[in-house]
Every structure is written in structure tokens, then in C-alpha cells.
Structure 1
Amino acid sequence: MSLTQAPRLETERLILRGPEKRDAEAVIAFLLDQERAAGFGASPTRGDAWRWFSLNVGHWHWHGYGYFVIEMKETGEAAGISGIWNPESWPEPEVGWVVFEGYEGKGIAYEAAQRARRWAYEDLGFTTLTSNIVPSNERSKALARRLGAAYERTYHNENMGEDELWRHPGPEALA
């Protein structure tokens, strides 16, 4: 059962749905992997990772949007998270993505981010979105380019340090 009011979105291969208690272990494992989660905001302890999972649930209740869990239609396995993120101190709403170990290089992040972005434009009425990417995260920058986003500026993110803000095309450009 979803812990949020998140809608269920689908693509050809994926289901984007609200986080459930059963997803906590996969998200926590990702956040505790210091190398893999470095560009997202790795957690130093299990308790901090659990708090981030709960923060995402609260984010949904506060904003009406947040990170969806990416579920593989074929297997029901959680493959990552993607959605719209805008916690306190963020410069503006962003579309973000993460895939869990074993799901890289399959186009899952692209497919999920595209669907989450479309939902934000069509259903939430957003007119612009960004992605915040740490400068060393070349894979995320490549995905941002593939999604049509362009580098706009570098800024100081109080959670991540130096961060790059990438601007996505607006809904009119994607129609």
C-alpha cells in the first residue's frame, strides 16, 4: 500500500508509483552505497538513509509530488526512483532520477524521468523544470542532455556543495 497520494504512472516497461514500506530496503541500500549514491546524496548511516526515505514520503504530503518508485512491469522489482523534488533550500523544482544496482545502462532512468516530467507539465501545471547535478556526475549530465536539458549555471547547494543547474525544455517544446 502506498504511503502517499502519488498517482500510478506507466510507460511501456515501467510503473512509477508512490513509495511503499517494502521499498525502504532498496532505497536504504542505495543511499548507503557511498560510491553509487555520491551524486545523489549518500547517507552515512542506516538511520540517515531511513530518514531520507521518510522525507520523501513527507515531501509527497507537503508538495503533492516527490520521488516515485520505479517498478519493472515484468518482474515487480524496484529498479530506482524518479520524480519531482523541491525540498527546502532547493532553487526550484527539479526532475531527478536514480537507478539501483543492476539496472544501469538499460534506459530506465530516461524512460522514468521523461514520464515524471510529462506528468509535472500535464497534470501539475509546471511550466519549467531543472535537474541539479554535481559537476562530476557525467552520466547524469549525459542523461540530462538526452532529455533536452541544457546547462544553465553552477551554484552552491547547501546539501551537495557545488551543483550544476540544468534547465529542461518547457511543455510547449515537448508537445
Structure 2
Amino acid sequence: MTSAPTIETDRLILRPHKQSDLEALWRFYQSDRSKFMDAPDSRSQLWTGLLAEVGSWEIFDWGGLAIETKDGQLAGQVWISQPPHFPELELGWIVFAEFEGASYAFEAASAMRDYAFEILNVDTLVSYIDQNNRRSIALAERMGARLDPDAESYDPMDLVYRHAPDSAGPGLEAYA
């Protein structure tokens, strides 16, 4: 078992969540940007979900991390997770609207992917992406993930993009 790591990239710090992250995450889930996700219906559901992401590090060696800019602004979240309804281990991400277009999602998700392959030694990861979420599809493809039409999904609206170790970038040392 491990505590949540802190991963630094050129412009970001992927860090364990803090209580102060809750309000920004709630605002995100109340926005149109969350329309392709299973958004929490209440602050209590958000709290429970966030605590599951935090506690998963202690039990499973994976979970969620906050995406923070080097100047201390919370920009989103990235995670490795497999709740009971997910057939496989997922790599997921969200970036708040004001940080869109800066490639923060690419940088954070690539670092988390590399962490999963290099540190956790997972064989594969998937990203479950709503078929209408063009931004996330483009990001998965930019990261080298490939559509896997034979993979099982928990949601019929989702496409499954598979990340493999050979799709990984230069490795974690490039982010340090």
C-alpha cells in the first residue's frame, strides 16, 4: 500500500487532494463541461466520491490527484481508478474551463499514464469516453491510445480507448 504520490511535470504538480479542492470540483460538476460524465447529484455525493479517490491510494495503490499549476492554481483532476462497475482500470481527467487549451490535460494525463506503467507496473489502462466527447477523444488519440471496439464498457454511450506501455511518452524522468 502507498500514499498518494506527488508528480511534477514542467508546468504542473499532480498532488493529493485537499479539502479546499471540493468547491472548485463542485463548480465543475455544475457546469456544462461535465455533461459527458457521471456527475454527483449533491455535495455529499461529491464528498463521498472524492474521498473514494483519496482512500483508493491506501487500499489499491491508485486513485485521483489534483492538477495544480506551478503558481498554485487548481486546474482539474486526473485519476487511475476502477470502481466496481468498471471492467478495467481507467485513466481519466478533467480540466476546468479557464485552463482549457493550454495542454494541461495532456501533460497531466500523460504523467499519470507513465506513473501507472512505470511505477505501478500495470499492463494496460483504458479511458471510457462518451462517444460525443470530441475533446477527450482527441486527447486520448494524441496520447497514443487506440480505440478498442472489443473492450467491455459499463456505459453503452462510451468508447473505450486503450493505453499501452508502448503508447507512453518519454517516461517520468522527463517530468521531474
Question: Normalising by the residue count of structure 1, what TM-score does the alignment of the two structures yield?
Answer: 0.87
Deviation at 1:155, TM superposition (A): 4.7
- Aligned residue for 2:99, secondary structure, equals coil
What residue in structure 2 maps to residue 88 of structure 1? 84
Q: Deviations over 1:100-154 (max 9, x none)?
A: 1201111000000010011111110112111110111010000000000111127
8 A contact 1:97–1:113 mirrored in 2: yes
8 A contact 1:83–1:97 mirrored in 2: yes
What residue in structure 1 maps to residue 54 of structure 2? 57
Return 75-84 or 164-173, whichever deviates more. 164-173
Give the number of equivalent residue pairs.
168
Match for residue 132 of structure 2 among 129, 136, 155? 136
Q: Larger relative contact order (C-alpha < 8 A, sep ≥ 6)?
A: 2
Question: What are the ranges of 5 or more consecutive residues in structure 1 without an aligned counterpart?
Answer: none
Deviation at 1:55, TM superposition (A): 2.1
- Aligned residue for 1:165, secondary structure, equals strand
Q: Percent identity?
A: 38
Deviation at 1:63, TM superposition (A): 1.2
Q: Aligned letter for 2:49? A: W
Deviation at 1:156, TM superposition (A): 4.6
CA distance in 2, matches of 1:163, 1:155: 10
Runs of 4+ in 1 over 3 A off after TM superposition: 171-175
Q: Aligned letter for 1:151? A: L
Q: Aligned letter for 1:65? A: W
CA distance in 2, matches of 1:30, 1:67: 16
CA distance in 2, matches of 1:60, 1:161: 29
1:68-87 superposed matches below 5 A: 68-73=65-70, 75-87=71-83
Deviation at 1:76, TM superposition (A): 0.4
Q: Aligned letter for 1:105? A: G
8 A contact 2:146–2:161 mirrored in 1: yes
CA RMSD of aligned residues (A): 1.9
CA distance in 1, matches of 2:168, 2:14: 23
**1:163 maps onto 2:158 in alignment:** yes
8 A contact 1:13–1:72 mirrored in 2: yes
What residue in structure 1 maps to residue 20 of structure 2? 22
